[in-house]
Chains A and B, each alone.
Chain A
């Protein structure tokens, strides 16, 4: 089964057709998606800026992570769910859009960056929790994260203009 076949199958599901045919459902889902993205980007930026040693330096990285990660995860899940619903309504079109493909790659890259950071430098966070400036690994992870998420927002908006 090719990706196009899968997309066509998804698009034909009843819920997908319902979204595609409704006047108000897509815009409403999109609004929730935008609100979730605002929260995700805001929360992630807070932690990334701390990883860069730029802001909230009075907090240890662990403490700030504990405060921001719940919001990040909840909003991220909402963003994924709403994004998937929108995607389903016109899956075969979206998979052909350049900005959509780039956005998916960027999100994947952001996820890989987060995973690498959590599995490596963050494991020893108690060693550098209050260190200023933070170690290079943290600053690189934070910078990449900010770049990826800003790029994701730009790609997301670009999708609407294809």
Chain B
């Protein structure tokens, strides 16, 4: 038996896990909250990434857009984390023994890490005032980030099928 299977068994034996499984409404309700938080993250990140890619809202500075949308991302991420932990506690094997879950987590790490070079490239200037090379790189990173978020949603859904 692998370590991770042992971990799953241990989690499944805890009172919290048993409670979550017994109260059958908890997992669907928590999943729904998870989906609403995904909506908040996707909408805010999409707006910001599309702005970074120079595709929308060029009349506003990136900082204005970030100021407007990042609070939503910041509020939603802890909700995703907490609901995710509840789901893992209730059904540990479903997540922890699933390659789509691990693919999803890896992509979350990557997409969050991408914000570091993106912030470096960002200067609080209108998109058009940035040098062409930076605009190009930002555009590419923004599109990669969007693609990653979609893949994260994809893997999230496929956990149920793998």
* Interface contact A161-B157, CB-CB below 8 Å: no
* Interface contact B36-A150, CB-CB below 8 Å: yes
Option from B29, B39, B157 in Cβ contact (under 8 Å) with A154: B29
Residues of B participating in the A interface, judged by any CB pair closer than 8 Å: 24, 27-29, 31-32, 35-36, 38-40, 42-44, 46, 68, 150, 153-154, 156-158, 160-161
Number of A-B contacts (CB under 8 A): 65
Among B35, B39, B150, B153, find the residue whose CB has the most chain A CB atoms closer than 10 A: B39
* Interface contact B40-A42, CB-CB below 8 Å: yes
* Interface contact A56-B68, CB-CB below 8 Å: yes
Option from B27, B35, B150 in Cβ contact (under 8 Å) with A153: B35
Question: B154's closest neighbor in chain A, by CB?
Answer: A31
A42→B73 CA distance, assembly (Å): 12
A34→B29 CA distance, assembly (Å): 16
Residues of A participating in the B interface, judged by any CB pair closer than 8 Å: 27, 30-31, 34-35, 37-39, 41-43, 45-46, 56, 150, 153-154, 156-158, 160-161
Chosen A-B contacts, 28 in total, with CB atoms closer than 8 Å, are A27-B158, A27-B160, A31-B153, A31-B157, A31-B158, A34-B38, A34-B153, A35-B42, A38-B38, A38-B39, A38-B42, A39-B43, A39-B46, A41-B36, A41-B39, A42-B39, A42-B42, A42-B44, A42-B46, A43-B43, A45-B40, A56-B68, A153-B39, A154-B28, A157-B35, A158-B28, A160-B160, A161-B27
